Amino acid sequence: MDPILLISIVAFVGAFALAAAIAGLAFDFQATKAEDRLDVLAGGGRTPSAEARKGIVKDDLVNLGKGTLQGLNKFTKSFGSWGLYLEQADSPVTFPQLVLIAAGCGVVGTAASFLGNAPLALHPVIGLVASTFPFIWMSFRRAARFKAFAKQLPDALELIGRALRSGHALGSGLNLVVHEMPNPIAHEFSLAYEQQNLGVSIETALKSMLKRMPNLDLKFFVTAVAIQRQCGGDLAEILDKIGYVIRERFKILGTVQALTGEGRLSGVVLMILPIAIFIAVYYLNPSYVMLLFTTPLGKKMITAGIVMQILGAWVINKIIDIKV
C-alpha cells in the first residue's frame, strides 16, 4: 500500500477516535448539582453495591484513569458548554449525534476526495474539513436564532408594557408574549413563565433566559425588572423606552449593513477565488499544481498562502464589523 495513503487513513481514523472520545467524555461528567442532590435524596447515590454491579474496582490505576478523564473533561469544557450551545441553537440533535454526523461527513468527504482523484496528501485534510460542516451549520443556526430573537424583542417589550398598563401582573405579561408571538421568543418566555409558576422568582427566571439568549437589550429588560422589584417605578414606561432604543439601533444597523455590503462581498470573493482557481488548475494541469506539494519551495508557498488567507479574512472581518 502506498505510504501516503496509509498515513492519510491513519490520520483520519485518529481524528475520528479523538472526536468520539471527546463526545463520550463530555457526557460522562455532566451531572449537575441539582441532579446530584436528587440522586442522594432518592437513595440512588453511588453506593458500593451499585459500583460492584458495574464492575468498578477502586485501585490506583482506576483513580489515575479517572483523574485523566476529569482533566480531559475540563479541557473540553474550556471551550464552552455544548449543552447550552445546542440549547441556544434549538438543536434537533444531541451532542453525541452531532459528533456522529460530523464523523459521517468526514468519511463522505474523504471518499469524495478519492473519487475526485485529489492529491493523497489532501485526503485527510478534506475529511477533516468536511467533518466541521455540522458544527458550522449549528453555529449558523444559533446565530440565526439570536438574530430572530433580537428582532422580536421590541414588540415583546411593548406588548408587556401594554399589559402592565391594563392592570396585568408581569407574569401575565410574559404569558401574553407566549401566546401572541412566534418562536423563538415565545419559547424562551414560556420557559421563564413556567419557572416562575413553579416557585422560582421572576428575576431568577429572567436571568436564566438571559443566560440562554445573551442579548444586550434583554439584559436591559432583566435589569429594569430587578430594579423595579426593589425600588418600584413605572416599568411600562421603561419598557417602552427600551423598545424605542432597540428600534433606533436596528435602523442604524441597517444603514451600516448597506454601507459595508461591498466590503463583505469582496471578502467572500477573495476567500473563495484562490480555492476555486486551485481546483480548476488541478483538473486542467495536475502536474503544474503538484509542484506545490512535491518541492520544498512549493510547500513553503502553499503554507504562506494559507496563513495569508486566514490573516486577510481576519482583517476584512475587523474592517466590516462595526459595533452599533
DSSP per-residue string spanning 197-246? HTT--HHHHHHHHHHHS--HHHHHHHHHHHHHHHH---HHHHHHHHHHHH
Per-residue confidence in pLDDT tens, the chain, 324 aa: 554 555 555 455 555 555 554 555 444 444 444 454 444 344 444 444 444 444 444 444 445 445 544 544 454 454 457 778 888 888 888 888 888 898 888 888 888 888 877 777 677 888 888 888 889 999 999 999 998 998 898 888 888 888 888 888 888 888 888 888 888 899 988 988 888 888 888 888 888 888 888 888 888 888 888 888 888 777 888 888 888 888 888 888 888 878 777 778 888 888 888 888 888 888 888 888 888 888 888 888 888 888 888 888 888 888 877 776
* Predicted pLDDT of residue 42: 44
Q: Is 94 helix (H, G, I), strand (E, B) or coil?
A: coil
Q: How many CB atoms lie within 10 A of CB 4?
A: 12
Which whole-number Å values give the CA distances from 290 to 268, 282, 301, 302, in the listed order?
26, 8, 12, 11
Residue 259 has a pLDDT of 79
Question: 478534506: which residue's cell?
Answer: 126
Q: What is the pTM of this model?
A: 0.63
C-alpha cell at 65: 484513569
Question: How is residue 298 written as a grid cell?
Answer: 512549493
User: Which pLDDT score is estimated for 69?
Assistant: 45
Q: Given this model, what pLDDT does residue 14 score?
A: 52
Q: Where are the alpha helices (DSSP H) in the chain?
A: 3-28, 33-41, 48-53, 60-77, 82-88, 95-115, 123-131, 133-165, 170-180, 185-197, 202-212, 216-231, 235-259, 261-284, 286-294, 296-320
Helix or strand (DSSP H, E) at 43: none
Determine contact, residues 125/278, Cβ cutoff 8 Å.
no
Q: What angle do CA 275, 8, 295 make, to 5 degrees?
A: 60
End-to-end CA distance of the chain: 58
The pLDDT score that the predictor gives to residue 286 is 81
Of 256, 261, 274, the C-alpha closest to 312 is: 274
Q: Give pLDDT, residue 50.
A: 44
